[in-house]
Amino acid sequence: MRRTILLAATTACLGGTTLLLVGSASEARDYGTAGQAFPIIEPDLLATIEARLRRAEASGELARTNALFAKRVEAKVRRPDPVAGISPAQETRSWDFDPSVRIDHDVRDQKGNMIARAGQKVNPLDFVGIHQDLVFVDGDNAEQMAWACGKYSDVKAKIIFVKGSPIEAMSQRKRRFYFDQEGKLTGRFGIEHTPAVVSQAGRVMRVTEHALKGRAG
């Protein structure tokens, strides 16, 4: 039971949506064919597609298309789209984020024991502690990078980019970096400016946007 709550707790604290899948194994059976069966009526369309693919393969167009697609995918991996609406902090400000969630249905373990009742409010921090700070930075901003890397070790924090290339930064600085895909974490915590730090403060998460003196772009 505690293991189930811990899994849900960690997901909630990091801004994800926890889905508890409850159900029994279903049995698959072959019940035969009911009613009249109709043949596929688009053979010409399939034949046309296959013919075009064969022509594209023969001409080298298919290989060029695949290579271009691979390059685009690699570029997105190396440098994801920046999180929209994030700018350098002009002033330091802090607020508390309550990660509590309200359960909309009864949650039971595999033995039927009640874990949480519908309508019950659960704070994940009652079950699990967040031992690493989350540090959000613009990876293209030299001052923010110097500040974050100088202040936080890999053990103390996860440095999360809202812009830039984590892969290039890892090669240069020999440490791990992460990226806030689609701005899910910054959106969850209400972060609008970087650098920003999220850390546990008792039963809440303390969020602080830090204004740096130089504010290098």
Whether 178 and 61 have beta carbons less than 8 Å apart is answered as: no
Q: Where are the beta strands (DSSP E) in 53-195?
A: 87-88, 93-97, 101-102, 107-108, 114-116, 121-122, 133-138, 157-163, 178-179, 193-194
Residue 172 DSSP SS3: helix
Residue indicated by tokens 């190396």? 78
pLDDT in tens, 6-54: 445 555 555 543 333 333 344 344 434 445 555 555 667 777 777 777 8
Sequence ranges of the domains in the chain = 2-18+83-209, 48-78
pLDDT in tens, 131-178: 999 999 999 999 999 999 999 999 999 999 999 999 999 989 999 999
pLDDT in tens, 190-202: 999 999 999 999 9
What predicted TM-score, i.e. pTM, was given to this entire model? Answer: 0.66
Peptide bond into 80 cis (omega under 30): no
